[in-house]
Each structure stands twice: as C-alpha cells, then as structure tokens.
Amino acid sequence: MTLSYRDVVSEAKRHIREIEPDELASRLGHFVLVDVREADEHSQGAIPGSVLAPRGLLESVISAHVSDPDAGLVVYCAGGARSALAALTLQGMGYRNVWSLEGGFSRWKREGLAWRAPETLTSDQRVRYSRHLLLPEVGEEGQIRLLESKVALVGAGGLGSPAAIYLAAAGVGTLGIIDDDVVDATNLQRQVLHNLDRLGVPKVESARETLTALNPDTKVVAHNVRLVADNVLEILGEYDLVVDGGDNFPTRYLVNDASLHLRKPVVHGSIFRFDGQVTVFDPYDGPCYRCLFPEPPPPELAPSCAEAGVLGVLPGIIGSIQAIETIKVLLGVGESLVGRLLTYDSLTEEFGTLRVRRDPGCPACGDPDRPPRLIDYDDACVYRGPGERSG
Amino acid sequence: MAATVRIPTSLRGLTDGNREVEVTHGPVAEVIGDLVERFPRLGERLVDEGGSPRRFVNIFVADEDIRFLDGVDTVVDDGVVVTILPAVAGG
C-alpha cells in the first residue's frame, strides 16, 4: 500500500510547527523567510524580504541563506503543503526553529497582508544573467537589486575602466562616470574603456559608448566635470556607492569628505608603478581615508603615474577587485574589505592584508555629528577643522 | 636574530633594489635607526629631522599600524614582518 500526497503532507504536519499569517506579520523581523515555491511562482509575487529556495534545491542552497541552526525560519509555498514537507526536511537537517506558513502565500494575500508585486527579469535578462541566477548568493532577487543599483565611478581611467566594464556586465542598472579628461594615446596602454577611434573624445562619452554596447540594461550617466567642493554632494548624492579610481590626492580627500556627509560607502583603489591597494570605507562604521592616511606625501615625494609610470595590467587587477567589492556591498554578501587594506605587489605576485583602524581623533570622521567642511584641497590636502575657509 | 622590513616597489630604488631588508629586532625606533644608517636616502623618506615617522608614511608591525600600537616604541619581535605603506593616488 502506498500513501497519497495528502497522507504524506498530513503526516509531515504532525511533526512540524505551523504559524498563522497574522502572527508572522506581527513578528516579521524575527524570522528568515524562505519561499520554497518555484522561481516563476516567486517572481509573480512574494512576501517582502523572503529568499527563494525551491523545494527541489532546498537541501543544497539553504546553508547559503541560513547558517545558524537556531535561527527562526518560516518556510512558505502557495498553500502550505510543500512548505510542510520542506519544514520537515529542514528539521531533519538540524534546523531547530522551523515553522511552515499555514495556508501559504495564497492565504497571506487573502488576508490583505503586505506582499511584493512581481519584479521579474525579462527572458533576455534571464539568459544574460543566467550564471548569476545560478548562484544562491545572487539569484533573481540579487540580480534585480543590481539592476536597481546606482554606482558612481570617480575616474574613467585605469581603475575606472575595468571596474565600469565588469559592473556594467554584471547588470548594475546605473553607472555615473565622473571625469573631465579626453582620451589620449598614452591612455590606451591600460584604460580599456577607450580605443583609437576615440582619441580626443571626452572619456565619459567614450565610456558610455563602450558600456552601452556591452549591456543596454545599464544606464550610463556622463558627468564631464572635475569633482569640486561645490558639485561633489550633488553628483555623488545621486548614487548608492562610490568607486574611487581617481588619480590625485585632492580629489580622493574630497570624495572621502563627501562620503561622510552622504554616508555612502567608498570602494577605494589606488595604483603606482607595480603596486596596488584596495579597501572599502564605510562612513562611521569603519575607518575613513583620512584615518588611514592623515596626510598625503608632498608632491616631490609622490610623483604621479604620468611622471613615474605604471604597469598597464595593474589597474586591471585592482579595478576588478573594486568591482567585486562593489557587488558584494550592493548584495550584502561575503566579507567586504572594510577595516582591511588589500595590498598587491605585481613584481613578487604577492597579496597582503593590513588592518586599518578607525582613528577616534580623525579630523574628518572623529565626530559623526560634524562631517568635515567641504573644501577644494591643494596638494597638501590639510584639513584644519570646520572653521577653515574654503580656498 | 632578526626581523624583516618589506620595502614597497616605489622605494626599492633607495634600498639597492632589495624588496626585503633584514633588521635587528627591537623597538620600531631602533629598526628605523638601523634602516637609516644603512640606507640614508630611505631614512629621509621615513622620518623627519627629529627621527619621528613622517605623517604620510604608515608603518605596520605584523599587519597592525604602529599609530594604533605604541608608535615608535612598538616592539618588533624576532621573525616579525614590518611593512612600509606609502599613500599612492594613481588611478
């Protein structure tokens, strides 16, 4: 004799706990919500904040979403049957606090509780981003988040080129490119956004052509200006995150100060000859640029790449790591480089990680209630405090 | 007994091309003194006339910035790596 589907579900329900929709709604923040329906059902509407783990993949993907066996987990499906079986499976895997949503998503909607209207990828997008969709850490929800993200890139040069190309390829929805330079022949040894046909063309225009040809999903906003104290908040304020690939100290200190006003993370990269550095500055939750480097070196001790040279591939490595950090921060996955500086020596092919601490006495971020006054720095980049007049 | 100082590529011209320099272990001030004696031009880049580290040079002992340890009194133990980190702005 075999058991019917109904029998199996009834048997499962004897061994699991169920939760009523209104009780779940009143304690939403206490649970990880797992939608065990199929991707097409999930995309038609879901409980906000829930993660998709179709029942057929549940055992293999659940640990990517929930690692703590004591975490409160609510699984749901359309009517409460599949989620009962899923809850039993999760209990069997060692999760101790699992509930199945009584009546499923249908009852949740019937009772007028909040749900997320369908936001779906087009069929072309499903193909383009298929390798992302296979990663539980990205998935459809993550891909949609990338498509809704806005990232500013300071500089469309050596670092900005690979960072912008990979972020566009990844489907970041809006890229704001800030650069007031034009393409010249000496750029082409490393600035892979540009090409011979674009000599003399503003870099932001060249970048837009390259990036939109790669991915029409990405809206490229060209800011053909130099960042200064008067425009920095307005420009960077449009974006969720800043990728700093600038080529001078005054702009880097200005971007840092502005990020403290805007409380937006900065993914920092810098290069010189054969060496590169990458870190992430998360305002007031980690160190800032001035905590790390209270002052820049005097110009005679810090020649630019134009004077001292730079290995052309080097920004390819560093800018690509900046793109990775950007995507991690946007998706909230992994461990970002906040509080750590990644160093790269291309001659010895060695990476290192140095601890970067927030300086309680930092003139820029020491007092969260008083972000630094925005000034256009000279080469010394000295910040004398909020009373300083802009020069 | 010795510690190792890692020299960034941009400063290797001042250490006869050496990427690592072996120094006697002890307080950072003595490690720097040792470096300055052997490579006077590197010394100028690291410390001011009074022997204090320049504000734009970061010195890490075992991956921790000495500004958050005991400054130049931070003791560099035998076998520990000291990293000199210059601020660079290229992009």
Which domains are assigned to chain B?
2-86 (3.10.20.30)
pTM over 0.90: no
Is the pLDDT assigned to residue A118 strictly greater than 80? no
Do A56 and A138 belong together in one domain?
no
Answer whether A67 touches B (CB < 8 Å): no
Residues A185-194 pLDDT 10s = 999 999 999 9
Residues A257-293 pLDDT 10s = 999 999 999 999 999 999 999 999 999 999 999 999 9
Pick from B56, B66, B69, B74 the residue to mutate for testing the A interface (most A CBs within 10 Å): B56
For residue B1, the model assigns a pLDDT of: 65
Q: Does A384 fall in a domain?
A: no
Do A109 and A161 belong together in one domain?
no
For residue B9, the model assigns a pLDDT of: 86
Chain A residues in contact with B85 by the CB 8 A cut-off are: 277, 341, 343, 354
For B59, the enclosing helix (H) or strand (E) is: strand B57-61
Q: Does A210 fall in a domain?
A: yes
Q: Can you give the CATH number for the domain in which A84 is found?
A: 3.40.250.10
| Residue A150 pLDDT level (bands cut at 50, 70, 90) | very high
- Contact criterion met (CB < 8 Å) for A315 and B83: no
Nearest CA in chain B to A346: B9
Do A345 and A307 belong together in one domain?
yes
Nearest CA in chain B to A339: B64
Q: Can you give the CATH number for the domain in which A245 is found?
A: 3.40.50.720
Smallest CA–CA distance, residue A42 to chain B, in Å, is: 42
Do A297 and A158 belong together in one domain?
yes
Q: Does A360 fall in a domain?
A: no
> Of A88, A120, A152, which closes a domain?
A120
Is the pLDDT assigned to residue A389 strictly greater than 50? no
Rounded to an integer, the average pLDDT of A367-384 is 89
Rounded to an integer, the average pLDDT of A232-254 is 96
CA distances from A36 to A81, A134, A142, A338 (A): 10, 16, 17, 34
Do A85 and A185 belong together in one domain?
no
For B26, the enclosing helix (H) or strand (E) is: strand B26-27
Residues A15-49 pLDDT 10s = 999 999 999 999 988 999 999 999 888 878 899 98
Rounded to an integer, the average pLDDT of A234-257 is 96
Chain A residues in contact with B44 by the CB 8 A cut-off are: none
Q: Does A388 fall in a domain?
A: no
Do A107 and A139 belong together in one domain?
no
By residue count, chain B amounts to 91
Of A113 and A307, the structure prediction assigns the larger pLDDT to A113
Rounded to an integer, the average pLDDT of A223-235 is 97
Do A236 and A184 belong together in one domain?
yes
Please check whether residue A243 is in contact with residue A151, taking contact to mean a CB–CB distance below 8 angstroms.
Answer: yes
Q: How many domains does chain A have?
A: 2
- Contact criterion met (CB < 8 Å) for A271 and B87: no
| Burial category of B32 from C-beta neighbours within 10 Å (exposed 0-12, middle 13-18, buried 19 and up) | buried
Answer whether A356 touches B (CB < 8 Å): yes
Q: Does A316 fall in a domain?
A: yes
- Return residues 17-46 of B near A (CB < 8 Å): 19, 45
Do A251 and A113 belong together in one domain?
no
Rounded to an integer, the average pLDDT of A66-77 is 94
Do A157 and A297 belong together in one domain?
yes
Q: Does A390 fall in a domain?
A: no
In which residue ranges of chain B is pLDDT below 70? 1
> Of A90, A120, A150, which closes a domain?
A120
- Contact criterion met (CB < 8 Å) for A310 and B8: no
Q: What is chain A's mean pLDDT, rounded?
A: 94
Is the pLDDT assigned to residue A53 strictly greater than 50? yes
Q: Does A97 fall in a domain?
A: yes
What CA–CA distance (Å, rounded) separates A8 from A246? 62
Rounded to an integer, the average pLDDT of A50-66 is 91
What CA–CA distance (Å, rounded) separates A386 from B27? 37
Q: Does A380 fall in a domain?
A: no
Do A285 and A247 belong together in one domain?
yes
Q: B89: which residues sit within 8 A by CB, 6+ positions away?
A: A246, A247, A248, A249, A252, A270, A272, A296, A302, A304
Do A96 and A42 belong together in one domain?
yes
Range of the domain at A11: 5-120
Do A267 and A200 belong together in one domain?
yes
| Residue A387 pLDDT level (bands cut at 50, 70, 90) | low
Residues A199-224 pLDDT 10s = 999 999 999 999 999 999 999 999 99
> Of A120, A154, A176, which closes a domain?
A120
Smallest CA–CA distance, residue A276 to chain B, in Å, is: 8
By residue count, chain A amounts to 391
Nearest CA in chain B to A348: B19
